[in-house]
Homo-oligomer: A and B are copies of this chain.
Amino acid sequence: MKKIKSALISVSNKKNLKPILQTLKKFKIEIISSGGTFKKIKELGFKSKEISEYTKFPEMLDGRVKTLHPMIHAGILSDRKKTSHKNQLKKYNFKEIDLVIVNFYPFQEIVKNFSKKKRIIENIDIGGPSMVRGAAKNYKNVAVITSVDQYNDLINELNFNKGSTSEVFRERLCQEAFIETGYYDSVISNYFLGISKNNFPSKKLIYGNKIDDLRYGENPHQIAGIYAIGLSNQKIQQLHGKKLSYNNYNDLYSALEISKSLPKNVGCVIVKHANPCGVSINKDNFQSFKLALKCDPVSAFGGIVSCNFKINEKLANELNKIFLEIVVATGFSKKALKILKKKKNLRIIDSSKLDNTDFFDMKSNFNTLLIQSNDSKIFKNKDFKVVSKTKPGKDTMKNLIFAFNICRFVKSNAIVLTRNFSTIGIGAGQPSRVDSCKIAIEKMQTFQKITNKDEVIAASDAFFPFVDGLEKLVMSGVSAVIQPSGSIRDKEIIRFANKLGIVLVFSKTRHFKH
């Protein structure tokens, strides 16, 4: 237990000081404070000594130097158990400082709200972190408060211990202080990295704010949490239903990634186990869902439906006919929401505030972190080259690009079959491409009626290494194929396509996803 006799207060955020000051007064704790804080304390009707008066040294350089003084830092850093330290303080008439209450210039908020570099840099706090770090290092003797959120805990601690703090409490504050300073400088470094566009510095700092503790991870025996990275906020809004689980988030993000890639206000995606099991774009939103569902109505059970349009009453009634974990959309009509809310557990999510600021993708393994830029390439016509003698019409070309776009969101190896802007067969996650072909074909044959009038399109996320996969596709009715080139058998594959008279288009880019 350490009795607190003196406190230093220097806060940028001056909220909620009153109850703290009342408690310090109650335990007769002397207060030292810096310029603005001194004024605020006076305003609130409490006494404190201004730092410049305390150190007998003025604030300098427009406040850039005020607390960076040996009297302050020796007062914070001295080891109370060492006689030599005690004597040195005495010699210079320095006093021990037992409590440091500091919060920093709001660098993060300034970066979010202002763009002028000078103003941003002026908001890098120097004195504050120095005191906080010193106090945290000396937590055996000193308590350090770095956030308004900790005020209540401090008040309770002081009341409970009659003006003292416990070491357990101070050690926790120390931990939180170093998180605060580490976080603060991570934000600052990231600001400068942003300016220099240095994405892969030799040391990488990633920082996040907790959105939620999750009930468990991918499985009940794993613990989990979710954080908002950097300066971002969680951009999705849950309107109803049970808390999102780890797997819900994972699936939801897969669904949203596809949704945002589709033309606005027409796309519907159904996801299960992070893979799409049905995607469709259709001006008639109701049809968009019906066609997505038809791709694999069995797998859709317990899945996620994601619409990049506003859900209306008619669709809400249709959605309620099947068991879903999540319905996410860029809006809901009042009536639709009321209908969907009848399902007590159904998670209903509004994604209309979701933007597209996520440029990097990270995953960890064996204590290493793989970081890559997202596969967010926007396709243009010139990215594709028709290599077959049979040329695709405009509509066929559009359908080919639609299929290829879906394909990149399916786990590799991926094969996607489509008809008229709806998936009708998805083969995902196979080590062998021909197996993905088989799975996609079987889906199509199970759930669709294919007539001779239908134009069935196939997309592959990477090149066909052999003719076999292509052959199976064509034999099952596919008449146009899109795939990245790059196989040593490309020529053979073009000859094969020409022999069968199908359309074959090469894309410039491969789209593995694992």
Residue contact A367 to B192, C-beta cutoff 8 Å: no
Question: When the two chains form the complex, which single residue of B171, B186, B209, B509 contacts A192, counting CB atoms closer than 8 Å?
Answer: B171
Q: Which residues of the partner chain B approach A227 to less than 8 Å between Cβ atoms?
A: 204, 368-369, 371
- Tell me the bound Cα distance from A121 to B142 in angstroms: 14
Residue contact B298 to A432, C-beta cutoff 8 Å: yes
Q: Which one of A225, A370, A413, A431 has the highest number of Cβ atoms from chain B below 10 Å of its Cβ? A: A431
- Tell me the bound Cα distance from A183 to B204 in angstroms: 8
Q: Is A395 an interface residue (CB 8 A)?
A: no
A454 smallest CB distance to B (angstroms)? 23
Q: Is A200 an interface residue (CB 8 A)?
A: yes
Q: Which residues of the partner chain B approach A223 to less than 8 Å between Cβ atoms?
A: 199-200, 372-373
Q: Is A85 an interface residue (CB 8 A)?
A: yes
Residue contact A188 to B182, C-beta cutoff 8 Å: yes
Q: Is A134 an interface residue (CB 8 A)?
A: yes
Q: Which residues of the partner chain B approach A199 to less than 8 Å between Cβ atoms?
A: 223, 225
Chain A 239-276, CB-CB to B under 8 Å as 1, else 0, gives: 00000001101100100110000000000000011110
- Tell me the bound Cα distance from A61 to B171 in angstroms: 22
Q: Is A419 an interface residue (CB 8 A)?
A: no
Residue contact A218 to B133, C-beta cutoff 8 Å: no
Do A363 and B366 contact each other (CB < 8 Å), given the known contacts A60-B88, A189-B182?
Answer: no
Interface-forming stretch among A4-12, A38-46, A68-76, A286-294?
Answer: A68-76
Residue contact A205 to B182, C-beta cutoff 8 Å: yes
Interface-forming stretch among A157-165, A173-181, A340-348, A475-483?
Answer: A173-181
Q: Is A115 an interface residue (CB 8 A)?
A: no
- Tell me the bound Cα distance from A368 to B196 in angstroms: 23
- Tell me the bound Cα distance from A57 to B196 in angstroms: 40
Q: Which residues of the partner chain B approach A366 to less than 8 Å between Cβ atoms?
A: 235-236, 253, 256-257, 354, 358
Q: How many residues does chain A have at the interface if contact means C-beta atoms less than 8 Å apart?
A: 138
Question: When the two chains form the complex, which single residue of B60, B201, B209, B235 contacts A70, counting CB atoms closer than 8 Å?
Answer: B60
A297 smallest CB distance to B (angstroms)? 10
Chain A 42-62, CB-CB to B under 8 Å as 1, else 0, gives: 000000000000000100111
Residue contact B65 to A73, C-beta cutoff 8 Å: yes
Residue contact B203 to A206, C-beta cutoff 8 Å: no
Residue contact A205 to B205, C-beta cutoff 8 Å: yes
Q: Is A393 an interface residue (CB 8 A)?
A: no
Closest residue of chain B to A58, judged by CB? B88
Do A189 and B175 contact each other (CB < 8 Å), given the known contacts A126-B133, A200-B213, A222-B373?
Answer: yes
Q: Is A377 an interface residue (CB 8 A)?
A: yes
Q: 6 tightest CB-CB pairs across the interface, nearest first?
A: A429-B429, A217-B372, A182-B185, A299-B431, A272-B431, A175-B192
29 contacts between A and B (CB under 8 A): A61-B85, A65-B70, A68-B70, A69-B69, A121-B137, A124-B133, A130-B133, A171-B192, A175-B192, A178-B189, A181-B185, A182-B188, A199-B223, A206-B207, A218-B372, A218-B512, A219-B375, A224-B370, A226-B368, A234-B368, A246-B370, A247-B514, A250-B514, A257-B365, A273-B412, A273-B514, A274-B514, A275-B429, A438-B442
Besides A235-B367, A358-B367, 5 other A-B contacts (C-beta < 8 A):
A206-B208, A217-B361, A230-B367, A273-B429, A428-B431
User: Which A positions have Cβ atoms within 8 angstroms of B?
Assistant: 57, 60-62, 64-65, 68-70, 72-74, 77-79, 84-85, 88, 92, 121, 124, 126, 129-130, 133-134, 136-137, 171-172, 174-176, 178-186, 188-189, 192-193, 195-196, 198-211, 213-214, 216-230, 232, 234-236, 246-247, 249-250, 253, 256-257, 272-275, 277, 296, 298-299, 303, 354, 357-358, 360-375, 377, 411-413, 428-432, 434-435, 438-439, 442, 509-514
